[in-house]
Amino acid sequence: MNKGKLIVFSAPSGSGKTTIVKHLLGQEDLNLEFSISAASRAPRGEEVHGKDYYFISLEEFKKHIKAEDFLEWEEVYRDNFYGTLKSEIERIWALGKNVIFDIDVVGGLRIKHKFPEETLAVFVKPPSVDELKRRLKQRSTESEDKINMRIAKASVELATAPQFDTIIKNYDLDTAKEEAYQLVKEFVNK
């Protein structure tokens, strides 16, 4: 099978990476397909099974771990497992497309280490932890407890930024989208 490129976007929750990834998916010249992760959490808001995530039970998730079906997986928050199935990458490469990931920093770096040549690992940096808090509250899809859990994790995640190939500062969304587009375009055309 011909390997396509792997484009990883990682960042603390609320940094705007999902918005940037969605924007890139709309750019046909980049030939991207979204890597749908498996997740053990329940769908949020308008999320759809088989589009945003493969929503599976914790039990099913653990079976996949045992069967070594994952390229990487992580207990991102307590009892909330997320992972990239090997079959997902194969599915996308078989379509002749490049894979784009919206995953946490540990998973993102793991993919970079497994496929160093094929991967562009991008870290999306929010203006500040206070701004992250404001964005998460505005999104209001999570409880106060869950928001606090995400904020606590953000500082640890921010410290991993230098390990990525490149950092995009998301201070202004349109600027960040354009910067991401140019970076990915250059990488996929290499």
Could you say which residues in the range 54-73 bind ligand 5GP, by CB under 6 A?
A: 72
Is 102 a binding residue for ligand 5GP by CB under 6 A? The answer is yes
Q: Decide: 105 and 157 in contact? Cβ < 8 Å.
A: yes
Interacting residues of 165 by C-beta distance below 8 A, sequence separation 6+: 112, 119, 120, 121, 122
- Determine if residue 59 is left, alpha or beta; phi over 0 gives left, psi from -120 to 50 gives alpha, anything else beta: alpha
| Total residues interacting with ligand 5GP, rule: CB under 6 A | 14
Q: Compare residues 72 and 187 and give the one whose CB is closer to ligand 5GP.
A: 72
Q: State yes or no: 35 annotated in a binding site.
A: no
Q: State yes or no: 17 annotated in a binding site.
A: yes
Q: Decide: 24 and 30 in contact? Cβ < 8 Å.
A: yes
Q: State yes or no: 108 annotated in a binding site.
A: no
- Least distance between ligand 5GP and beta carbon 68 (Å): 15
Question: Of 4, 5, 7, 13, which one interacts with ligand 5GP (CB under 6 A)?
Answer: 13
Interacting residues of 187 by C-beta distance below 8 A, sequence separation 6+: 5, 7, 120
Q: How far apart are CA 26 and CA 31, in angstroms?
A: 9
DSSP 43: P
DSSP reduced 3-state for 116: coil
Q: Compare residues 41 and 62 and give the one whose CB is closer to ligand 5GP.
A: 41
Is 104 a binding residue for ligand 5GP by CB under 6 A? The answer is yes
Question: Of 84, 98, 119, 170, which one interacts with ligand 5GP (CB under 6 A)?
Answer: 84
Is 126 a binding residue for ligand 5GP by CB under 6 A? The answer is no
Q: Give the interface with ligand 5GP as residue ranges (CB under 6 A).
A: 13, 37, 41, 72, 74, 76, 82-84, 102-104, 106-107
* Binding-site residues from annotation for ATP: 11-18
* Binding-site residues from annotation: 11-18
